[in-house]
Amino acid sequence: MNRYGKDILVDTKMGKILLESEVIKNEDYEWLKDMLENDENHSIKYSQLNELDESKKTFMTSSLFSNLYSIASDEWEIDHLNEDGEKLECSLCGEKNTVKKYYIRNKKSNKILNVGSTCITNFKDIKGINGKTKEEIDKEWEKQQRQKLLNDRYNGIIYKIENWQNNIDKIPTIVSEELENEYDKLNRDIQKLYEKFIKNKKLDYSIADKINELVCQGDNILNKIYLDMKEKEKNEWFITKEIKEWCLKDSNENQVVIRFLKEDGIIRLRSACRIYEKNFINKIIKKFEIILKNSNIKLIGYEEKNKSFIVNLIDKNPYTNRIDLNCSYKDFMYEFGEKLFEKTYNNNFIDAKEFFMQNSNINEESSLSASVSNIKFLSSKSLIRIYKWDIRYNEIVFLGKDDKYYIVELKKFVNLFKKCVFSKKLDNDQIKSINEYVLKNAEEINKEEYENRIEMREKADRAMQVDYSNFA
């Protein structure tokens, strides 16, 4: 007997675990195996120890035996859990009415045993095949049971609950804020109830019924969202699937426009200024082509690189006619967009030239060249005249009365004196300000130095050409 007065050293459950394990097959433990097999209950009593020799007696009463038992029980893991209503006999204790059956598998022999929920506790630290603890397996099991009950009562409801957000994502437009909020709020309420239904100890079908009621409300809202979309599709400023995808591709960058679209439900000027989606831009261009038909502005196209419209100001001057201007899409839309989005616009573009003088740039090479050429013509009688220019080196060379060369940055100069570029005639003040600018900002260089520089450049160019021919 042990110190608690109990005579059992190895009980039936332990005995069976040992007998079903692989470690007991080691010949060192043959005597123990025999002892367990010969006992009808597969147990060992303290009183039986007297039959053993000293070393075996020590083995059984020391930590050596507990270690062996640990090794044996560690051989097992939970394979799966079943509670299908069928009653089975527990493999360890013989209890005939186990309903919740843990199927445990010996990792070495692959043998499977079914044990009841009490006997499973004999396996300290037993884990499931994917490393889950028994508690986790139990919890998951209970969750699945509850889900099953809910789904049996309301067919397909679990799928609906778990795919709630997908429904909004799948809609091929940006849903208006009001409807989406309504839909989201239901979702939050449903998730709360769903968790309650699954986690509450007591099964409460009134919660299930409430969940179903909310899910049906959700279906109604979804229906409303689709009808709303069908209605908005008729509007020329409907938020298309492409625009939605464009917005979401960079949802951080497009936060503001997404917010506007949700608030407005369709595209309005404030969002249109911020949408650079290809099809949308093309649509804007086409609309402007019609509006601008009888004006003196021609929209040539869109430059993706710097998100700008290329514009030509139609005047009768053959020089300036060749000059294209780049105006940022956003600025352009802010200035003229109302004409697209407000029904009562008029076709008045009187101030357009002034606007472009302030809000556009001349970037493109032939336009830059035409600009310099025009200023040269207009300022030919000035004290400092344009002598030559080079787009590649971004320079204009002015010749002073002192025979000195004054070199300024071409692009900067042209854009600074854009108004002069588009003038028919320069007045004295304009000429004066050009002269002042050149004197103040130019690199001053004498004729000889300049010619040396040109010679060096030509040499470098020729060297490049030699290189190319080598490759050919």
Binding region for Zn ion (CB under 5 A) out of 23-31, 74-82, 92-100, 198-206: 92-100
In three-state secondary structure terms, 6 is: coil
Distance from the Cα of residue 172 to its chain's centroid:
18
CB 140 → Zn ion: shortest distance, Å? Answer: 22
Stretch that binds Zn ion, among 117-125, 250-258, 443-451, 461-469 (CB under 5 A): 117-125
Residues 225-244 that bind Zn ion (CB under 5 A): none
Give residue 357's region: left, alpha or beta (phi > 0; psi -120 to 50).
alpha
Q: Shortest distance, CB of residue 98 to Zn ion, whole angstroms? A: 6
Parallel, antiparallel, or unpaired: how do β-strands 8-10 and 44-45 relate?
antiparallel
Query: Could you say whether residue 364 binds Zn ion (CB under 5 A)?
Result: no
Is 174 a binding residue for Zn ion by CB under 5 A? The answer is: no
- d(CA 326, CA 349) in angstroms, rounded, equals 18
Does position 15 interact with Zn ion (CB under 5 A)? The reply is no
Burial of 304 (0-12, 13-18, 19+ CB in 10 A): exposed
| Nearest distance from C-beta of residue 30 to Zn ion, angstroms | 27
- Give the DSSP letter string of 427-466: -HHHHHHHHHHHHHHSEEE-HHHHHHHHHHHHHHHHHHHH
Decide if residue 445 touches Zn ion (CB under 5 A): no
Minimum CB separation of residue 63 from Zn ion in Å reads 26
> What residues numbered 71-90 form the site for Zn ion, per CB under 5 A?
90
- Only segment of 95-103, 225-233, 319-327, 410-418 that touches Zn ion (CB under 5 A): 95-103
Instruction: Quote the CA–CA distance of 169 and 180 in Å, as a whole number.
Output: 11
If the CB atoms of residues 30 and 89 are measured against Zn ion, the closer one turns out to be: 89
Q: Using the minimum distance from each CB to Zn ion, give the nearer residue, 112 or 454.
A: 112
Amino acid at 95: E
Q: Which of 12, 65, 75, 116 binds Zn ion (CB under 5 A)?
A: 116
Distance, CA of 85 to CA of 101 (rounded, Å):
10
Rule CB under 5 A: is residue 19 a binding residue for Zn ion?
Answer: no
How far is Cα 184 from Cα 168, in angstroms, rounded to an integer?
10
Q: Under rule CB under 5 A, how many of the chain's residues touch Zn ion?
A: 6
Q: Is 272 in the site for Zn ion (CB under 5 A)?
A: no
The structure tokens listed for 418 are 């854009």
**93 binding Zn ion? (CB under 5 A):** yes
Q: Does residue 11 interact with Zn ion by CB under 5 A?
A: no
Alpha-carbon span 84 to 41, nearest angstrom: 29
Using CB under 5 A as the binding rule, whether residue 161 contacts Zn ion is answered as no
Judged by beta carbon, residue 94 or residue 400, the one nearer Zn ion is 94
- 11 vs 142, beta carbon nearer Zn ion: 11
Strand partners, 74: none
Complex with Zn ion: residue 25 or 87, whichever CB lies closer: 87
d(CA 87, CA 91): 12
Return the number of the residue (93 or 266) whose C-beta is nearest Zn ion: 93
Per CB under 5 A, 337 contacts Zn ion: no
Residue 101 vs 262, nearer CB to Zn ion: 101
Q: Is 358 helix (H, G, I), strand (E, B) or coil?
A: helix
State in angstroms the smallest separation of the CB of 40 from Zn ion. 17
Beginning with the edge strand found earlier in the chain, give each strand of the sheet holding 76-82 in spatial order. Answer: 76-82, 101-106, 112-115
119 binds Zn ion (CB under 5 A): yes
Residue 51, H or E segment: none
Q: Does 92 bind Zn ion (CB under 5 A)?
A: yes
C-alpha–C-alpha distance, residues 260 and 372, integer Å: 43
Distance between CA atoms of residues 132 and 139, nearest Å: 11
Q: Toward Zn ion, which CB reaches closer, 92 or 420?
A: 92
Asked whether position 247 contacts Zn ion by CB under 5 A, the answer is: no
Q: Does 410 bind Zn ion (CB under 5 A)?
A: no
Residue 95 CB, shortest distance to Zn ion, in Å, is 5
Nearest approach, Cβ of 12 to Zn ion (angstroms)?
9
For residue 301 the two structure tokens come to: 């196209």
Binding site for Zn ion (CB under 5 A): 90, 92-93, 95, 116, 119
